[in-house]
């Protein structure tokens, strides 16, 4: 796994150098609208810590960070009224996983029938 790159776009969002439309924030996490939504609801949930991917996060993060990330997903689900309707949570990891931004992010999709898991 490559080292964390401080210049990735989500690091810049976390530093406030690039704007985002915030959905939820706490000490450990930030959730914001995806800039190119692929569903009516498309929110990204990221840890504030410098983790490249889900692999890196699970290997290195504290229990508090891990709990916060999971709870933040639920906060987004509640904020977007998806709890009863259903939704999809996805995290792309690495080259074959299709990860483009090298800072862990969890996609939350919803607001419409989402179809088959892989397009």
- Is 103 among the catalytic positions? no
Cβ proximity to ligand 5GP, 1 vs 18, nearer residue: 18
Q: Strand locations in the chain, DSSP E?
A: 22-25, 29-33, 41-47, 87-90, 106-110
Judged by CB under 6 A, the residue of 3, 7, 36, 115 near ligand 5GP is 36
Contact 100, 58 (CB under 8 A): no
Contact 20, 115 (CB under 8 A): no
| 53 class by beta-carbon count within 10 Å (0-12 exposed, 13-18 middle, 19+ buried) | buried
Q: Which of 28, 42, 105, 107 is catalytic?
A: 105
Stretch that binds ligand 5GP, among 30-38, 51-59, 68-76, 80-88 (CB under 6 A): 30-38
Stretch that binds ligand 5GP, among 23-31, 46-54, 80-88, 97-105 (CB under 6 A): 97-105
Distance from C-alpha of 82 to C-alpha of 109, rounded to nearest angstrom: 9
- Based on the shown chain and the rule CB under 6 A, indicate whether residue 48 belongs to the binding site for ligand 5GP: no
Distance from C-alpha of 69 to C-alpha of 49, rounded to nearest angstrom: 11
Stretch that binds ligand 5GP, among 32-40, 58-66, 77-85, 108-116 (CB under 6 A): 32-40
Residues identified as active-site = 105
Chain residues that interact with ligand 5GP, rule: CB under 6 A: 9, 18, 20, 32-36, 92, 98-101
């Amino acid at each position: 796994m490559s080292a964390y790159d401080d210049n990735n776009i989500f690091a810049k969002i976390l530093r406030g150098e690039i704007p985002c439309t915030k959905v939820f924030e706490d000490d450990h996490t930030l959730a914001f609208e995806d800039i190119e939504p692929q569903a009516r609801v498309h929110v990204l949930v990221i840890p504030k810590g410098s983790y490249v991917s889900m692999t890196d996060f699970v290997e290195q993060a504290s229990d508090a960070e891990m709990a916060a990330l999971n709870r933040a997903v639920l906060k987004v689900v509640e904020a977007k009224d998806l709890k009863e309707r259903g939704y999809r949570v996805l995290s792309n990891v690495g080259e074959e996983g299709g990860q483009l931004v090298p800072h862990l992010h969890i996609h939350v999709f919803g607001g419409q029938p989402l179809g088959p898991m892989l397009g």
